[in-house]
Copies of this chain bind each other. A is one copy, B any other.
Amino acid sequence: MKLRARLYPIESGRPVVVLNEEDAKDLGVYVTGRVRISHEERSINAIVDTTTSFVKEGEIAVFEEVRGILDVCEDCELTVAETTRLHSVEFIKKKMDGYTLNEHEIHTIIQDVVDNNLSNIELTAFVAAGYVKGYTMDEIVALTKAMVDTGQTIDFGDDIVDKHSVGGVAGNRTTMLVVPIAASAGLIIPKTSSRAITSPSGTADTMEVLAQVEFDIDGLKEIVNKTNGCIVWGGAVNLAPADDRIIRVEYPLSIDAEGHMLASVMAKKRSVGSDYIIIDIPVGRGTKVVSTERASDIAHKFIELGKRLGVAVECLITDGSSPIGSGIGPALEAKDVLYALDNQGPIDLIDKSLDLSGILLELSGKVVQGKGREVAEKILRSGKAKEKMKEIIEAQGGNPEVKPEDIEIAKKKMTIISEHKGRVRYIDNKLISAIARAAGAPRVKSAGLYLHTSIGDKIDVGDPLFTIYSTSKGRLKEASDLAYKLAPIRVGSIISDVIR
């Protein structure tokens, strides 16, 4: 069928065209069917949407993606033909029907995910089926391999180490200490981190206060070859790109399918050739993993997955019952990190980072068992970690001489004080995060909040609990209203609920 192109300067994120319903019927395609579109020497499979009015019979609405690939002009004649159902869709249906998928089937689906060949309906069916049915270890191994294969990869040789934290703990910026410590010890640690989606800051957001974080794969190589380490935003490097697409479906449904999570974490690590990986699984109020049983189950799966991929994995179940560090929000966290590198930082942040670094040093064989933490501590205390971080900051285009005091914090502030007397019983990660976001983090780097207390501290009525920082009066009010409403820090009472 020949149709006349009508161009619309719209990006839809995938190749979509709109046909008049009558033409679509003639072609035998139904809503979210597919057609093969050809123009001169080029052709592409596009997803079909139909309309009764906005596109006339004999015309085809072409959006940005298709226009770019086929080099279409307004009024161009395009050849449109029905195309066969994607194999991926058969395999997705197979998963929905309760069968396990083999390596070939999973690879086919993931390739189509990366190539943006699936409609939202098809992609969602895949994600939902995986979430509802779960995946076998064989499937998770296949998912991981497929995610690696369909993205870019780097080879830095041997002794590549990496770390990952399962989310949910506010302020948990251990990466920014573990990377310089490990790199100082001679390990190679090409760390890619995420930006915040629902939290007040991701490690990439915090690092961005000190240096650039958006590099392509060559940029990443250059930094790591120079300094042995890096802390960059994973989103800019094309590692395991299927993950992003899957998350875009999971997010609006508030789901985080375990199989996808395991596969995507390991795929990102394998894409940079990591041989030794530690995974921090915090458990506590408001974290992703809510019980130690669940954490232990995930840990065993990570380790098994590592074995199957030829990677040594160790998992650490950590206390995630309250935020780590004092600052929450990109700049406030960056400040904490700089203080910590000067050995003046929040004690809990330093402690956790040394624990993680020690275990990573031991796992990699760089340091004998039982001596890891000691060596890590020496590297930090001696200032070597700080020197290494300066190198990394410089390699990433930042100012290596930046001091904690240089970090700019939002000027408008309000301190929330305690209305009760007693010990601090808990500091809720989710509620603290919500308040920091209301103040403007992560979009406004200098916004967030600063905790004045930790769990177990003795508090009197009127003592400061935390200070909110914001660049806007309105946001400051919104955040402080929220703080009073949510009461994220519990002082005194140990009764968490009364059931009558």
Contacts and interface: CB of A to CB of B under 8 A. Distances in A.
A18 B13 CA distance: 12
Contacts of A33: 252
A133 interface: yes
Interface stretch (A22-30, A317-325, A490-498): A22-30
A461 to B, nearest CB: 34
A96 B128 contact: yes
A96 B252 contact: no
A248 interface: yes
A122 interface: yes
Contacts of A132: 96, 98, 128-129, 132-133
Nearest to A9: B54
Nearest to A438: B28
A127 B197 CA distance: 27
A252 B18 contact: no
B197 A255 contact: no
B10 A18 contact: yes
A437 interface: yes
A18 to B, nearest CB: 7
Given A64-B54, A443-B26, A121 B249 contact: yes
Contact of A120 (B9, B121, B248, B254): B121
A253 B93 contact: yes
How many copies are assembled?
2
A194 interface: no
Listed residue (A49, A85, A119, A131) with the most chain B CB atoms within 10 angstroms of its CB: A131
Nearest to A47: B252
Interface string A62-95: 0010000000000000000000010001001100
A251 B9 contact: no
B131 A96 contact: yes
Contacts of A153: none
Nearest to A197: B30
A125 interface: yes
Interface in A114-155: 119-122, 124-125, 127-129, 131-133
A212 interface: no
A158 interface: no
Contacts of A61: 10
Contacts of A31: 248, 251-252
Given A10-B54, A11-B53, A54-B9, A30 B121 contact: no
Interface in A331-368: none
A32 interface: yes
A341 B133 CA distance: 52
Contacts of A25: 443
Contacts of A26: 443
B128 A120 contact: no
A245 to B, nearest CB: 11
A273 to B, nearest CB: 31
Given A31-B248, A132-B128, A89 B8 contact: no
A51 interface: yes
A225 to B, nearest CB: 31
B121 A11 contact: no
9 contacts: A10-B54, A10-B61, A11-B54, A28-B437, A30-B197, A30-B251, A33-B252, A96-B131, A96-B255
Interface of A: 8-13, 18, 25-26, 28, 30-33, 49, 51-54, 61, 64, 85, 89, 92-93, 96, 98, 119-122, 124-125, 127-129, 131-133, 197, 248-249, 251-255, 437, 443
